[in-house]
Amino acid sequence: MWCDGRVNEDVARPAAGASTTADVGRLGGFAVELAEGAAEVVRRGADRALATTSKSTSTDLVTEVDRASERWLVDRIRERRPDDAVLGEEGGERPGSSGVRWLVDPIDGTVNFVLGIPAYAVSVAAEIDGEVVAAAVCNPVTGEVFRATRGSGAWLGEQRLHGPRAVPLERAVVGTGFGYDRERRDRQGRVAARLLPLVADLRRIGSAALDLCAVASGRLDAYFEAGLNEWDYAAGALIAAEAGCVVTGLRGRRPGDGIVAAGGPALARDFFDLLERLGADEVL
């Protein structure tokens, strides 16, 4: 599914679970509260960032602060909205009966957190009946909060976001990221090497949530990454789409079905065609 500013009219209408704009607005307000609150937990734990263990591979890190942040998020959701489902990166999964599901990443960019590189974020998204309708991404270091609700635009504080400038591919600064599995990284690296001479430059910032917010706010012209998990991109994808960007998978697929690719409307078609030619979605 293509996801861009044009879908806004559809989502302003009540969805299957009879959600209203007011419901979506309430979810949006709570998403911001959750992201800011968990960011405070992360800020307070910054001196414990070195206590790491690994997950899928030896380089896929988790700290006790990731776990504390997720616990805080899940507890708050349980208190305030006991019937909602939750899916969290660190195993916080809970079924629900309300039709609302929260996708939370307690620290997106854990490696940056461990190293003290100020590019990591708490990412919170709310879905109604499988469609993301509200999102907030908070960087605990800068205090920036990116937010969006479906149909109401994307915001950084009081500033409305309008996506990146209109530049041709050869002038575009493109963000990307790499998974933790070595063989996948090898294939992703080859795609990046072929892309590099065709664009102005590449950035590997280290937080998919912030990458997508960077496209929303024009700090990056475009972004792609294969193999992301839902909690990495759910919030950032809505924020980029609500800023007027095109957020998609490739070859007609939904964002997250293999790859997430995002860019401003002026660049999107050329960028996605190029990614398809390079097989950016064939690295998994």
Helix, strand, coil content of the chain in percent (nearest 5): 40, 25, 35
State yes or no: residue 259 binds ligand IPD (CB under 6 A): no
SS3 35: helix
Nearer to ligand IPD, 4 or 105 (CB): 105
The 170-199 site mask, x for binding ligand IPD (CB under 6 A), equals -------xxx--------------------
236 binds ligand IPD (CB under 6 A): no
Sole binder of ligand IPD in the list 88, 206, 256, 264 (CB under 6 A):
206
DSSP 3: B
Confirm or reject binding of residue 256 to ligand IPD (CB under 6 A). no
207 touches ligand IPD by CB under 6 A: yes
Kindly determine how many residues on this chain lie close enough to bind ligand IPD according to the rule CB under 6 A.
14
Stretch binding ligand IPD (CB under 6 A), from 8-16, 106-114, 214-222, 242-250: 106-114
Q: Is 228 in the site for ligand IPD (CB under 6 A)?
A: yes
* Residue 109 vs 164, nearer CB to ligand IPD: 109
180/190 Cα distance (integer angstroms): 15
- Cα 140 from chain centroid? 15
Tokens of 279: 């097989």
Describe the crossing of helices 182-195 and 265-278 by its angle, rounded to 10 degrees: 120
CB of residue 14 to ligand IPD, shortest distance in Å:
33
For the four alpha carbons of 29, 109, 49 and 46, in that order, the dihedral sign comes to negative
Q: How far is CA 102 from CA 99, 172, 197, 250, in A?
A: 10, 33, 39, 25
Q: What angle do CA 76, 92, 143 make, to 5 degrees?
A: 55
**Residue 72 sits in the site that holds ligand IPD (CB under 6 A):** no
Q: Which is nearer to ligand IPD, 54 or 98 (CB)?
A: 54
If one asks whether residue 89 binds ligand IPD (CB under 6 A), the answer comes out as yes
Query: Which DSSP string corresponds to 109-147?
Result: THHHHHHT-S--EEEEEEEETTEEEEEEEE-TTT--EEE
Residue 281 interacts with ligand IPD (CB under 6 A)? no
Between 69 and 207, name the residue whose CB sits nearer to ligand IPD. Answer: 207
Residues forming the site for ligand IPD (CB under 6 A) = 89, 105, 108-110, 177-179, 206-208, 225, 228, 232
